[in-house]
């Protein structure tokens, strides 16, 4: 049986693969579309395995909420390039991943990828997508949050920085404003009471060393250290920071004016902590010229 253009078209629609790849698969399978799909999936798995070692430090943060707003999942899903992170197929995959994560309520990537989606595992869906797109794609981390009181506010800056914050009141606008602040300023702790004692001790040790040779009286030195330490703590705590939309007031004062407090928050930035390959374009061009 000969391979027809209609067969190639059908195979392309069902697999998302390129025309020439579809034609070759059909020729190899003797124009059997089902066999061609099976062999392409096997080949895709092999390709995906090869690509799995490649650095995937681009991608998106995806946030999905339950209908009652009391549960939120935030996931980082990575690709190798920013270009693929904008691909419709990739973005559709992120929707599926987030929905499944919310349904399962798991923070284990391994468990999530074993979950069933339309009769196949999410891992199988990922493998097929890698074969189609040609880049390594990874579900990197999952954050599940549940509100015992108040509301969640969430904010995504572009697609690469995501924040979910739980405030103690039902003021959704306030919660979103706080999420935007956290996205912009990236505090390390909520308030001073959350800063570990050893963290403060280490900073105080550094400050003492900085003023050791100042020649000032001990009581002045103590005041200098105290002032600098307060400034340091204000800079690393959410409550101590000037609110981004109104720097004349701190976040703590804003919250007090609304009779609210921040219960918890999570902030995720795409690629943080991943060792990225730094490309040197000039060297790459010269290498091609020499080659």
Average pLDDT over residues 116-141: 90
pLDDT of amino acid 59 = 94
One domain for residues 41 and 13: yes
What is the CATH classification number for the domain harbouring 227? 1.10.286
pLDDT of amino acid 287 = 57
One domain for residues 155 and 258: yes
Minimum mean pLDDT among 13-27, 65-79, 248-262: which range? 13-27
One domain for residues 160 and 252: yes
One domain for residues 126 and 45: no
138 in Cβ contact with 122 (< 8 Å): no
One domain for residues 153 and 264: yes
Average pLDDT over residues 63-83: 94
Domain-embedded: residue 100:
yes
* Residue labelled with tokens 């020439």: 20
pLDDT of amino acid 46 = 44
- Mapped onto helix, strand or coil, the DSSP state of residue 210 is helix
Name the average pLDDT for the chain: 87
Nearest to 96 by CA among 128, 126, 59, 72: 126
Neighbouring C-beta atoms of residue 133, cutoff 10 Å = 20
Residues 6 or more apart whose Cβ sits within 8 Å of residue 119: none
Domain-embedded: residue 282:
no
Q: DSSP assignment of 173-187, as one string?
A: HHHHHHHHHHHHH--
What is the CATH classification number for the domain harbouring 43? 1.10.8.10
One domain for residues 241 and 252: no
One domain for residues 29 and 115: no
Using one digit for the tens of pLDDT, what is the confidence trace for 135-161? 889 999 999 999 999 999 999 999 999
Structural domain count of the chain = 4
One domain for residues 181 and 198: no
What is the CATH classification number for the domain harbouring 88? 3.30.479.20
Domain ranges, residue 31: 5-51
What span, in angstroms and rounded, lies between the C-alpha atoms of 36 and 166? 50
pLDDT range class, residue 18, cuts 50, 70, 90: low
Alpha helices in the chain (DSSP H): 5-15, 19-28, 33-51, 88-104, 109-113, 122-133, 172-185, 197-211, 218-236, 251-257, 281-290
Q: E strand or H helix at 259, and its extent?
A: none
Domain-embedded: residue 289:
no
Crossing angle (nearest 10°) for helices 5-15 and 19-28? 110
What span, in angstroms and rounded, lies between the C-alpha atoms of 57 and 276? 7
């Amino acid at each position: 049986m000969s391979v027809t253009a209609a067969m190639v078209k059908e195979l392309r629609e069902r697999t998302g693969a390129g025309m020439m790849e579809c034609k070759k698969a059909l020729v190899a399978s003797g124009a059997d579309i089902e066999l061609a799909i099976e062999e392409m999936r096997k080949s895709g798995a092999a390709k995906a395995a090869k690509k799995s070692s490649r650095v995937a430090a681009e991608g998106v943060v995806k946030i999905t909420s339950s209908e009652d707003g009391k549960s939120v999942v935030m996931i980082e899903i990575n690709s190798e390039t920013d270009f693929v992170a904008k691909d419709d197929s990739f973005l559709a995959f992120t929707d599926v991943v987030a929905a499944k994560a919310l349904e399962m309520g798991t923070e284990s990537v391994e468990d999530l990828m074993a979950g069933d989606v339309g009769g196949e595992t999410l891992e199988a869906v990922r493998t097929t997508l890698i074969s189609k797109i040609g880049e390594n794609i990874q579900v990197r981390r999952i954050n599940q949050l549940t509100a015992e009181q108040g509301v969640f506010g969430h904010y995504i800056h572009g697609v690469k920085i995501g924040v979910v914050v739980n405030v103690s009141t039902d003021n959704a606008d306030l919660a979103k404003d706080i999420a935007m602040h956290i996205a912009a300023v990236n505090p390390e702790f909520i308030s001073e009471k959350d800063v570990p004692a050893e963290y403060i001790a280490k900073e105080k040790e550094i400050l003492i060393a900085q003023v050791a040779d100042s020649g000032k009286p001990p009581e002045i030195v103590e005041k200098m250290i105290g002032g600098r330490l307060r400034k340091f703590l204000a800079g690393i705590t959410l409550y101590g920071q000037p609110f981004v939309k109104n720097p004349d007031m701190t976040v703590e004062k804003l919250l007090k004016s609304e009779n609210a407090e921040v219960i918890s928050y999570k902030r995720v930035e795409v690629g943080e902590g991943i060792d990225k390959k730094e490309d040197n374009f000039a060297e790459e061009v010269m290498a091609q010229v020499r080659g």
